[in-house]
Amino acid sequence: MTKRNKFLLIFILIFSLIINNLYCEKNFKILSGSNLYMRIFFFFFPISNKYEYIFQEQDDLLILDITLKKENIKNEPSTQPLFETDLNIKLQNVPINKSGKSDIPISIRCNKKVGFKNVDFTIYRNDNILILKGCLDNLSVNEISDNEYFKKRFKWKYPIYFDIRIRISENN
């Protein structure tokens, strides 16, 4: 093998390793203990026991779609349901490789209404675990429901607390 062929072989190997690292895909998996909570007085209750998650990665940012089916949403037994359709929450621009406080835009869709809010999240990144904690505390009932039953409560705030844990693994 000549020097030229050796150089070409080394160049191709290095180039293929660089390309492989640039295009490696990440897998995201929700860990147990992840939940969305609502607060009633001093107690926190999970909104549902079943969630559907869809992950989309763009650069070092994550878009997380959370869907709660209507039949899985826990409602107060003595009142009409606040969520008459599926509840869809979309967290956008979640930094994957950064820990600290971050203002994350979210969208909420339910009862044929769409709302956009910014939520302060505390993000913890430890090795391959990403933890998101935040509270959407400025969501009023009239932003998610037109039901006449809740007319007297339209100005009430409906806080939603996020506690989401994600395992990130890379495919090479």
Residues 47-79: pLDDT tens digits?
888 889 999 988 889 999 999 898 888 876 667
Domains of the chain and any CATH numbers: 25-171 (2.40.128.110)
pLDDT: is 149 or 114 the higher one?
114
Q: Residue 21 — very low, low, confident or very high, per pLDDT cuts 50/70/90?
A: low
Q: Which of 28, 149, 145 is nearest to 87 (CA)?
A: 145
Phi, psi at 75, each rounded to 5°? -120, 160
Query: Which range has the worst mean pLDDT, 24-28, 61-65, 100-104, 112-116?
Result: 24-28
Tell me which amino acid residue 13 is: L
C-alpha to C-alpha distances, 25 to 16, 76, 89, 113, 122, nearest whole angstrom? 16, 42, 24, 34, 25
Residue type, 25: E
Asked if residue 3 has pLDDT above 80, the reply is: no
Query: Rounded to a whole number, what is the largest CA-CA distance in the chain?
Result: 85
Overall average pLDDT of the 12-40 stretch: 73
Paired with 17 in beta bridges are none
pLDDT average, residue stretch 21-26:
59
Sequence letter at residue 134: G
Place of tokens 């940012």: 61
Please, are residues 103 and 94 in contact by the beta-carbon 8 Å criterion? no
3-state helix, strand, coil in the chain (%, to 5): 20, 50, 30
Mean pLDDT of 32-42: 79
pTM of the predicted protein model:
0.75
